[in-house]
Each structure stands twice: as C-alpha cells, then as structure tokens.
Structure 1
C-alpha cells in the first residue's frame, strides 16, 4: 500500500478505535496525521514508506491480499489518566491490526529499543510504512513543540 492510500485508510479506520476522538491530516506534511484522543491529548505522526520490491512509483499500484493480522484486544491507553508514547504505540498497533485490512501482513510497535517511538506496518506486497511519533501534547497545545522530543506523558 502506497503512502497516499495508507493515509486515506488511516483517516477512515483510526477514528473507529474507542479512545480516538478525531484523526485529521497534519497540515504541512506530505503524509502525516494529527490524532486527538478522548482526553484531548494529541499526537502528531509523520509517515514514510518503503516500496514493495521491484515496484516502480510511476506504475499503477497492484495491491496484494492475504491473511489479515490476528485481532488483538485494545490495551489500556492510560497510565494515571495520561498517555505514554509506549502505550500509544501498542494502542495504535492494535487499531490497525483490528482493521481487518487484507493487505496488511503485520503491525508492530517500535518499543523501548527504538530511538523514536512509533509503529511499523508490513504489507503482503513487501511494502512497509513507518509511522514516527513526532510531537505529543496535552489538550489545547499546538504542534509547535520540538519534534522527536516527546514528553513522558501527555
């Protein structure tokens, strides 16, 4: 799945997750999302991609279908009423895995070993999407924060 189509997919599927209030395009980013959770906490995510092996960007995309990832229960998003980057990774990975999209082979949170929090999506075509958490904020904050310097809770 190419980035533009993936972004349209996430704009449709992520708001269906129980704790996500809104998902919008992150203005000023080619492929980015601005999520607002039910608490008002916010997360800005930038996406990049790796094309499927042998795929040429000037050719029509050929979706590859397969088994969907196993459905998983949504993990608890909150720790003391706040969201941590690690909990957001796990929660968003569950939301994408539970979408029943048969182009997705797997979804994985980056985990504590990664320099920057986020998650990855592998597709049956061999393509990949990388979703980096760039900015997180409390209710009402803007995206003016320093990128990749997320607070421990938001």
Structure 2
C-alpha cells in the first residue's frame, strides 16, 4: 500500500474505532508529507507519521497492484486508558488491534513496535506497524502528543509518557 492510500485507510479505520473522536490528515512539510492526527475520546491527541516500504523487488515508479489474502483474525481491543490517560505503549497495542480488526484483505498482520521489547532493550521510538500480503510494510511512527485541552507547540507536545 502506498503512503497516501495507507494514510486514507488509517483515517477511515480510526474514525470508526471506539475511543477515537477524530482522525484527520496531518503533514509537516516535505519531511513528513503523510501523517494522521488522532483525537481520542478523552481529548488527548497523538500525531503519527505515515510511512511505507515497498515489497521486495518493486519500485515506486511501478503502478500499485494490491495483493490480497486472508485478513488477520479479530483480536480483543485492549484498554486505551490507564488512570484516564493514554501511554505510547497502550496506543501502540490499541492501534494495532483496531487496524487488525479492520477486515482489510491486504493486511497480513499488525504489531506495536514495543512488542517483544524488554527493559534491557526498549523500543527506540514508539509506533505501530502493518505487514501487507504484498510483502510491503506500513509504519505509524508516533511523533507528538498532547493532553486534553493542550495545544501542540513547544516541548510540551513532544511525545509524552502519558497524555
């Protein structure tokens, strides 16, 4: 799936998800041309950069040919909130479950970047990944967060440990 189509898919899927108030396109110049701003039901916000990796042996110049297969089995959607706040770890698991449960025949599996991380080998940067049946991959890299009522700007909107 190409970045624009992946972004559109993520927005469409998240707008139907429980605990999501809104999902809209976001970009930050040429450095981050594709992204999604997610507003959770608590009012907390998360900005994610959208990136894709082509299937092995394919190039961006070739036309996109979607490859389908068996969609992932539905999984329980984990609790998003702990003490009324979202953490990057909870957001990873939540987004991975919502995308897996989308029923998309292009998706082989989803995962949180922290899956398998340990205290001795933590995740360098939180996010959620998608593996497509084509062999391509989609990445949702968590960039910024804001608590309910907080505007993005300055150091207060960096990715926080709870928002």
Give the TM bin, normalised by the shorter chain: over 0.9
TM-aligned CA distance change 1:146 to 1:66, over 3 Å: farther
1:41 aligns with 2:44: yes
**TM-align CA RMSD:** 1.6
Distance across 2 between alignment mates of 1:116 and 1:148: 15
For 1:118-129, list aligned pairs within 5 A.
118-129=127-138
Instruction: Tell me if structure 2 keeps the 8 A contact 1:135–1:147.
Output: no
Distance across 2 between alignment mates of 1:23 and 1:90: 17
C-alpha deviation, 1:149, in angstroms = 4.4
1:103 aligns with 2:113: no
TM-aligned CA distance change 1:6 to 1:150, over 3 Å: same
Aligned to 2:65: 62
Aligned to 1:11: 11
C-alpha deviation, 1:57, in angstroms = 1.2
1:114 aligns with 2:110: no
Distance across 2 between alignment mates of 1:62 and 1:145: 41
Gapped regions of structure 2 (runs ≥ 5): none
Residue of 92, 96, 100 corresponding to 2:95: 92
Gapped regions of structure 1 (runs ≥ 5): none
Instruction: Tell me if structure 1 keeps the 8 A contact 2:144–2:159.
Output: yes
C-alpha deviation, 1:143, in angstroms = 2.8
**TM-score in terms of structure 1 length:** 0.94
**TM-score in terms of structure 2 length:** 0.89
TM-aligned CA distance change 1:126 to 1:84, over 3 Å: same
Count of matched residue pairs? 154
Distance across 1 between alignment mates of 2:60 and 2:154: 33
User: Residue by residue, what CA displacement relative to the aligned partner does 1:23-70 show, whole Å, maximum 9, x if unpaired?
Assistant: 011143411010000000000001222101111211210110001011
